[in-house]
């Protein structure tokens, strides 16, 4: 089962941050996804975000994207201790990279904090099958 990707925002070195989507409840993992191959200088990325409980926070640890990273590669963003997901990204800080490096911050087709589950109808009168024959 696939879900539509949620694009929390995008960033281009030398241009800045463009805000994207948000979700009203729950929290999703967030991935840094370069939209073009990264140049010869790595990037350290931090975000200001709304966590799964609706509290605004800034990451205390940056997430690194290596030099010459391939477009489309997913790097999971490191969130603060105790946070399991985000509702929104409100700002991005970056050290490194070169003008023109671009990336998105997005969920990775995991849905809006819900998991599909199966409903199984039980048999009111199950039959017992003896699997070991009785010896006489």
pLDDT tens by residue, 19-38: 999 999 888 999 999 999 99
Give the domain ranges of the chain: 10-106
- Under 8 Å between Cβ of 17 and 102: no
List Cα–Cα distances, 41 to 51, 66, 83, 104, 124, in angstroms.
30, 8, 29, 18, 65
Q: Residue 5's pLDDT is what?
A: 85
Mean of all residue pLDDT scores within the chain? 86
Query: Where does the pLDDT of residue 131 fall: very low under 50, low under 70, confident under 90, or very high at 90 and above?
Result: low
Is pTM beyond 0.85? Reply is no
- Under 8 Å between Cβ of 20 and 92: no
Q: Using one digit for the tens of pLDDT, what is the confidence trace for 81-126? A: 999 999 999 999 999 999 999 999 998 755 544 444 444 555 666 6
């Amino acid at each position: 089962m696939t879900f539509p990707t949620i694009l929390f925002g995008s960033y281009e070195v030398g241009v800045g941050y463009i805000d994207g989507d948000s979700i009203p409840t729950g929290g999703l993992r967030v991935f840094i996804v370069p939209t073009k191959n990264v140049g010869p200088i790595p990037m350290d990325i931090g975000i200001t975000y709304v966590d799964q409980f609706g509290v605004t926070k800034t990451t205390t640890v940056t997430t690194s994207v290596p030099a010459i990273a391939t477009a489309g590669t997913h790097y999971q963003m490191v969130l603060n201790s105790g946070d399991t997901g985000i509702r929104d990204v409100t700002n991005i800080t970056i050290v490194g990279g070169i003008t023109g490096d671009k990336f998105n911050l997005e969920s990775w087709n995991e849905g809006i904090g819900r998991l599909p589950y199966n409903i199984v109808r039980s048999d009111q009168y199950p039959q017992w099958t003896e699997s070991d024959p009785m010896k006489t």
